[in-house]
A and B are shown apart, each in its own frame.
Chain A
Amino acid sequence: MNKKKWTTLFIRYGKEEAAEFYALHKDQMECTTVSGPMEGLTMIKVREHAQNSLFYLGEVRVTETKLRHGKEIGLGVVKGDEPELSTALAFIDLCFKTDQFTDTLNNILSDLEDRETEAVHKKTQEILRTKVNFDMMND
């Protein structure tokens, strides 16, 4: 699973799982804090449709943590004030980079994929109940 996918699953559906994983495994892999958790900004770059050009929409607050194990650095970045989650994400990034506890992580992510499917389905159904049925309007 690529980083885009696992960060999406943990941030959207698995905050508690990420924190639990970190709490259970942090003593089993020696790592030092490079920086953070610290607050900062991410500037959002957007492509607009009218001219297909780029512009800056504005900034979003993020929390960033960096952890080191050997030569590898794990990165945790998440929207909002989330010191615990950013630390857990940095640790998980480090685990993937150093190939440690990956079976456990993949099992968690597999469960989160199921949760994602269920959540998206539920949200989609709720939103689509507001879809206009023009045939019905003519009844």
Chain B
Amino acid sequence: MGYVAVKGGKEAIEKSVEMYKSRRFREGHDIEVENIKTNMRQLINQVMSEASFYDRDLCALAIKQAEGNMEEAVFLMRAHRSTLPRLYYSTVTNTREMFVKRRVSASFKDIPGGQILGASPDYTHRLLDDALLGLQTLADYVTDEDEEEIEYEYKLDALPKVIDYLEAEGLYSKPEIDDTPPDDITKKSIEYPSSRSERLQSLTRGQTGAVTSLGYAEIRGYGFSTHPNIGECRVGDQPIHIGDMDGEEYFIGDIELTEIDAFLPDEKESSDKEDYQSEMTFNIGYGLTFGQNETKAIAMSVLDYSLSHPVENAPTTDDEFVLYHIDSVESTGFISHLKLPHYVTFQSKLDRMRQSGRKSE
């Protein structure tokens, strides 16, 4: 079936664009991009993560232009990203150097460095706050008391990982360093079966809702059906470095990340040949996203594990099923294109139906 170009509708399209772009002025007043940047942090975090493009200023602009439509904002960011040259690759980023702003463990109460709640909506009442109908100031929310100095054992950019504790207990063995150059799905499409680097890159830029839903389905029984334990959830500022032309490390800035280590119990055969018992051990599911995106990062860790441990006929352990469908631009692009003119293809179907109807008479 070929496509047939048609003309017409130019003026209607121009008026439609005019109506779309002017709507915000007709229904209220314009807002500054800076206001979106400071007040819509979590929306920016989601868009940056799904766009796989870290820049708060551009994201705020994309959100304004898209009238807050997530899929449109992500599309705008991806499109802009495609116009820029890739100048550098960072040196290997080690998240142990992250300046931690929030860090909780659902597996251990007492962890070295402690449970640090940081800034989170987790501990707030889910009741609409009437006070926000008006404009608030910092003083409305911050107590300015002369508080005591807090002693601490670990610097926040050198907190031990919870998996170090498991390793010390002999319940987890740290894998050997693997320096295999990663695949890059922005340069070459994923090939199935996918590599681990392709899976992680695809999951971290996946649509938040899609990644979360599939992670949930995985736990509910459409995969290995094991309840993961969150060993550690970290949110913090990660320093990024490049290697300059002289081979020296060069700091280019900090980016906010969310990192999840999910513990998943696993059985393996005992190394003792005469011991027929299997040994219980732990595997790690890994999640890492731009910005504070805790739910997505947890779901990513679940899917990371499930895609590495396929189960027959389980859709959420099928890399082709999961990775093909979680990309925001791919999925929303295809679904939304269905509303665009398909006159020829539909007429063709109608013709076939009419002909088959005549034959049956």
Q: Which of B89, B118, B251 lies in contact with A43, CB distance below 8 A?
A: B89
Closest to B91 in A: A45
A28 within 8 Å of B (CB atoms): no
What 1/0 mask marks residues of chain B from 146 to 190 whose CB sits below 8 Å from any chain A CB? Answer: 010110100110000101000000000011111111101110000
Complex contact B55–A131 (CB within 8 A):
no
A62 within 8 Å of B (CB atoms): yes
Interface stretch of the complex, out of B93-101, B220-228, B341-349: B93-101
Interface stretch of the complex, out of B20-28, B242-250, B270-278, B350-358: B242-250
B45 within 8 Å of A (CB atoms): no
Complex contact A11–B304 (CB within 8 A):
no
Closest to B184 in A: A56
Set of chain A residues within 8 Å of B180, measured between Cβ atoms: 53-54
A24 within 8 Å of B (CB atoms): no
Given known contacts A44-B240, A75-B245, A132-B117, A50 and B285 CB-to-CB distance under 8 angstroms: yes
Complex contact A42–B178 (CB within 8 A):
no
Q: How far is the CA of A6 from the CA of B192 in the complex (A)?
A: 44
Q: How far is the CA of A77 from the CA of B257 in the complex (A)?
A: 21
Q: How far is the CA of A29 from the CA of B178 in the complex (A)?
A: 46
What 1/0 mask marks residues of chain A from 44 to 55 whose CB sits below 8 Å from any chain B CB? Answer: 111111111111
A-B contact count (CB 8 A): 213
Interface centre among A2, A46, A127, A131 (most CB of B within 10 A): A46
Complex contact A59–B86 (CB within 8 A):
yes
B312 within 8 Å of A (CB atoms): no
Q: How far is the CA of A57 from the CA of B182 in the complex (A)?
A: 11
Set of chain B residues within 8 Å of A48, measured between Cβ atoms: 200, 286, 288
Complex contact A54–B181 (CB within 8 A):
yes
Set of chain B residues within 8 Å of A47, measured between Cβ atoms: 92-95, 177
A84 within 8 Å of B (CB atoms): no
Set of chain A residues within 8 Å of B156, measured between Cβ atoms: 123-124, 127-128
A115 within 8 Å of B (CB atoms): no
Q: Which of B149, B201, B248 lies in contact with A3, CB distance below 8 A?
A: B248
Complex contact B117–A11 (CB within 8 A):
no
Nearest Cβ distance between residue B145 and chain A, in whole angstroms?
A: 10
Complex contact A124–B155 (CB within 8 A):
yes
Interface centre among A7, A40, A57, A134 (most CB of B within 10 A): A57
Complex contact A49–B242 (CB within 8 A):
no
Q: How far is the CA of A27 from the CA of B186 in the complex (A)?
A: 43
Q: How far is the CA of A73 from the CA of B245 in the complex (A)?
A: 9
Set of chain B residues within 8 Å of A50, measured between Cβ atoms: 175, 261, 283-286, 304-305
Set of chain B residues within 8 Å of A58, measured between Cβ atoms: 49, 51-54, 201, 204-205, 290
Set of chain B residues within 8 Å of A61, measured between Cβ atoms: 53-55, 58, 84
B66 within 8 Å of A (CB atoms): no
Q: Which of B95, B155, B174 lies in contact with A46, CB distance below 8 A?
A: B95
Q: Which of B150, B174, B196, B240 lies in contact with A42, CB distance below 8 A?
A: B240
Nearest Cβ distance between residue A11 and chain B, in whole angstroms?
A: 6
Set of chain B residues within 8 Å of A78, measured between Cβ atoms: 252-253
Nearest Cβ distance between residue A118 and chain B, in whole angstroms?
A: 14
Q: How far is the CA of A55 from the CA of B185 in the complex (A)?
A: 10
Interface residues of A (CB under 8 A from B): 2-4, 7-8, 11-12, 39-62, 64, 73, 75, 77-81, 123-125, 127-132, 134
A-B contact pairs, 10 of them (CB 8 A): A3-B250, A7-B251, A11-B251, A41-B85, A45-B90, A48-B200, A54-B182, A60-B53, A125-B150, A132-B115
Interface residues of B (CB under 8 A from A): 49, 51-55, 57-58, 81, 84-95, 99-102, 109-110, 114-119, 147, 149-150, 152, 155-156, 161, 163, 174-182, 184-186, 196-197, 200-201, 204-205, 239-242, 244-246, 248-255, 257, 261, 283-286, 288, 290, 304-305
Known: A3-B250, A47-B95, A132-B114. 7 other contacts (CB 8 A): A42-B87, A50-B283, A62-B253, A124-B152, A124-B155, A130-B116, A134-B110
